[in-house]
Amino acid sequence: MKVSHNAPLKNYNTFGIDSTARILCTIETVEDLKAFHRDVSMRDDKRLILGGGSNTLLAGDFDGVVLHMKISGKTINERSEDWLITAGAGENWADFVDWTLEKGYPGLENLSAIPGTVGASPIQNIGAYGMEVSERISHVTVFDPTSGSVFDIPNRACLFTYRSSVFKESSGSNFVIISVTFSLSKSWKAALKYEELITQSKNKGYSLESPEEISKLVKEIRRGKLPDPSLIGNAGSFFKNPILSGAKALAFVEKNVSAPYYVQPDKSIKIPAGWLIDEAGWKGKRVGRVGIYEKQALVLVNHGGASGQDVLSLSDAIRSDILFKFGVDLEPEPVVVGC
């Protein structure tokens, strides 16, 4: 286990925030985790787990231990109806999805080109273009730093919901994800529930008859409206799409007749947060060193030299404005650390 002190974290988060960790431990194997568990000098320190840092906002320096997860490796177990594919938590998510398609294991194509690591995918229950990763997860293998034990958590026990899981709750936030095992069916069916995929396929001439075609279109759509974190710091979609129910949903629809919304199975409605932000006039605005991306109102960007507090201030201003204008409270997606 490699240990560094007063380590800069600018290259460990896609926002490109210049922050420092008192201790940085690079975790490449399960044995590294066990070594960390045995090290009494760090046992009582605050702990932050970082993969690609694509869903993290560092709002200040971290006075504790950062575990940078770099556990790699992929294994395949073929069964009669599916393939069980296990990937290490440190594997790059976008590369992993490409690899599954290249090897002939379809099922994750709608989730192509999402920044981050495999280990982060179940925490946030990442989703895009009509699919959530929870639909493909068999189980998650974790390390318990309290007991030092390693065990599997089956899908149903992960308590997946929209952009959340047991790993964001007090009962599971202490676990360190080692690997994720996916169940990819041999009877592949295209997941075409997302309207934009259908519309864009017609506009761009995609047949969507193969997982490769879907992946190619998803990548093209994402490139057209989402900034590359290597060019401009960002964490992708910064706000969750709000879900309203009962009287709040009815009041919103009656007051905002032109607003798009999607009825959920429980009769609540999901409202595109990007529409709210765009409608309120924030899209493309710049406030000092931060701003809202001109092609996608959901994305907050670091124009260079921004602090985490700069991003938080912009986020708070947007939330206050949306609450005032629409009566809707936006909830940030990234985990805020250090404030």
Q: Catalogue the active-site residues.
A: 163, 237, 333
Nearest alpha carbon to residue 129 among 198, 186, 187: 198
Residue 239 is classified by DSSP as B
- Helix runs in the chain, H state only: 30-38, 93-102, 121-124, 195-204, 211-225, 246-255, 273-279, 308-326
Residues 96/118, Cβ–Cβ less than 8 Å: yes
CA torsion through residues 105, 106, 108, 113, sign? positive
Q: Kindly write down the DSSP assignment for every residue of 156-169, as one continuous string.
A: GGG--BTTB-GGGS
Question: What 8-state DSSP symbol labels residue 295?
Answer: T
Task: Kindly state the DSSP code that residue 12 receives in the 8-state scheme.
Answer: G
* d(C-alpha 227, C-alpha 235), whole Å: 9
- Answer yes or no: are the C-beta atoms of 49 and 176 closer than 8 Å: yes
